[in-house]
Amino acid sequence: MQIKQLIEKMPKIDLHRHLEVTARSRNFQELVQSNSVFLLPHQPGKQLTFFHSIDDYKEYAGNWEQSGKVFLDKEAFASITAETVKDANNDNVRYLELRFDPARDLFTGMDWKDVVDALAEGIEYGKRETGIDLALICGLNDLSDPAMAEKVINFAITNIDKGIVGLDVPGEGLLGHKPMVQALDRAVTADLGITLHIGDRVVPRDLLKTIEALGIRRISHGSRSLFNEELIEYI
């Protein structure tokens, strides 16, 4: 048996699958056509590319922005979520943590309660169909707006019963936002896990202090930790 086949057959734990970029191409195209979604207005004639491997981060980020335009209502949201769970099952994933960011422009126009309710509906359907164990990670990708960031944290705490088990937050400069640290302390007290997202950024110098101060137990995209000897020794 080849290595690829062996890996495909192995049961897996997937801790980092982004909902925003998991729409199936067929489902995506159907939603675009049925809702008259206009893609890439500044690049006439260019079509969204679906690919299995990603070599260009800018291309990936561009697809992320475009793919989010199909999250127009609860029905589309629930459908894409259910299909994401099924696709994870096809990858032989037994435990899945699905990430979403309610503050992104992707969900503009949707009430956050509708977002989490649609997620819960899609996940419940997917679980019935596949038997996968699932949880939600709430993304917080921007600390520049303290009020919005605190809203996301409070949203995650309020919706623990909907399956949210953690927050994914930027590691850079976090300790400089005291209100944010206090809000994250509330999240930890509420039994939410905190993940520091550092994969597409330079590892901040104060990262180790941040980990120790907040009791961080997971680093998202931790490969860049290799460039920080002190952090590697700590890990």
* CATH number for 104: 3.20.20.140
Q: How far is CA 78 from the centre of its chain?
A: 16
Assess whether 153 and 113 both reside in one domain. Answer: no
* Prediction pTM value: 0.78
- Please tell me the predicted confidence (pLDDT) of residue 41: 46
- Strands (DSSP E) contained in the chain are 12-18, 93-100, 133-139, 164-170, 193-197, 218-220
- Whether 27 has a pLDDT exceeding 70, the answer reads no
In a domain, 42, yes or no: no
In a domain, 101, yes or no: yes
Assess whether 129 and 149 both reside in one domain. Answer: no
| Mean pLDDT of the 12-30 span | 73
Assess whether 103 and 200 both reside in one domain. Answer: no
- Enclosing domain of residue 106: 1-36+47-139
Tally of domains within the chain? 2
Concatenated DSSP letters for 35-86? HTPPP-TTSTT------SS---HHHHHHHHHHHGGG--SHHHHHHHHHHHHH
Assess whether 122 and 149 both reside in one domain. Answer: no
- Beta strands 193-197 and 133-139, pairing class: unpaired
Of 180, 190, 127, the closest CA to residue 160 belongs to: 190
Last residue of a domain, one of 139, 172, 204: 139
Of 207, 132, 134, the closest CA to residue 169 belongs to: 207
Assess whether 152 and 207 both reside in one domain. Answer: yes
In a domain, 41, yes or no: no
- Please tell me the predicted confidence (pLDDT) of residue 177: 74
- Whether 116 has a pLDDT exceeding 50, the answer reads yes
Last residue of a domain, one of 117, 139, 161: 139
Last residue of a domain, one of 119, 139, 159: 139
Q: Which residues contact 88 (CB under 8 A, 6 or more apart)?
A: 14, 17, 96, 130, 132
> Number of helices and strands (H, E) in the chain?
9, 6
Question: Who wins on pLDDT, 163 or 28?
Answer: 163
